[in-house]
Amino acid sequence: MSTLPAPLELPTRLLHGPGPSPVPESVLAALAKPTIGHMDPEFMRVMNEVREMLQAVFETENQMTLACSGTGSAGAEMVALNLVEPGDRCLVCVHGVFGGRFAEKCRRAGGEVTTIEAEWGQAFDQAEVIARIHELQPKLVMIVHAETSTGVLQPIDQLADAAHQHDALLVVDCVTSLGGLPVRVDHHGIDAAFSGTQKCLSCPPGLAPVTLSERAMHRVTNRKSPVRSWYLDLSLVGNYWTGSRAYHHTAPVNMNYALHESLRLILEEGLDARYERHQSAHQLLKQQLEQRDFAYASDPEHSLPMLNLIRVPEEVADEAAVRRQLLTEHGIEIGGGLGKFAGVCWRVGLMGHGAREANVSAIVEALDAVMPAN
Ligand SMILES: *Cc1c(COP(=O)(O)O)cnc(C)c1O
CA of 369 to the centre of ligand 1 (A): 31
Mind listing the pLDDT tens digit for each residue in 238-254? 999 998 899 999 999 99
pLDDT in tens, 138-178: 999 999 999 999 999 999 999 999 999 999 999 999 999 99
Assess whether pLDDT exceeds 80 at residue 373: no
Cα separation of 338 and 298, whole Å? Answer: 13
Pick the last residue of a domain from 244, 267, 290. 267
C-beta atoms surrounding 274 within 10 Å: 22
Alpha helices in 84-184 (DSSP H): 97-108, 126-136, 159-165
Is the CB of 72 inside a 6 Å radius of any atom of ligand 1?
A: yes
Per residue in 295-315, pLDDT (tens digit) is 999 999 999 999 999 999 999
pLDDT at 79 over 80: yes
3-state secondary structure of 172: strand
Q: Residues 102-122: pLDDT tens digits? A: 999 999 999 999 999 999 999
pLDDT at residue 374 above 70? no
Q: Which domain holds residue 304?
A: 14-18+271-370
pLDDT at position 243 is 85
Residue ranges of the binding site for substrate: 347
My answer on whether 290 and 255 are in the same domain is no
The DSSP code for 114 is E
Asked if 119 and 253 sit in the same domain, the reply is yes
Question: Over pLDDT 70: what percentage of the chain?
Answer: 100
Identify whether 6 is part of a domain. Answer: no
Dist. CA 240 → ligand 1 center (Å):
25
How confident is the model at residue 62, as a pLDDT?
98
Domains: count for the chain: 2
Ligand 1 binding pocket includes 205 (Cβ within 6 Å): yes
Is residue 56 pLDDT above 60, yes or no?
yes
Indicate whether 192 and 277 sit together in one domain.
Answer: no
Considering the domain architecture, whether residues 139 and 111 belong to the same structural domain is answered as yes
Same domain, 91 and 206: yes
Same-domain status, 293 and 199: no
Ranges assigned E (strand) in 3-160: 14-16, 64-69, 89-94, 112-117, 140-144, 146-147, 152-153
In a domain, residue 1? The reply is no
Could you report the per-residue pLDDT of 173-210, keeping only the tens digit for each? 999 999 999 999 999 999 999 999 999 999 999 999 99
Give me the pLDDT at residue 1, please.
82
212 lies in the same domain as 310: no
| Ligand 1 mean position, distance from CA 28 (Å) | 21
* pLDDT score recorded for residue 154: 98
Return mean pLDDT, the chain: 97
Strand order in the sheet with 14-16: 14-16, 332-336, 345-349, 307-311
What was the pLDDT predicted at 203? 98
pTM, entire model: 0.97
pLDDT surpasses 60 at 228: yes
Q: Which atom of ligand 1 is nearest to the CA of 307?
A: 15
User: Cis omega (within 30 of 0) on the bond before 20?
Assistant: yes
The domain that holds 292 is classified in CATH as 3.90.1150.10
> How do beta strands 14-16 and 146-147 pair?
unpaired
Ligand 1 mean position to 74 CA, how many Å? 9
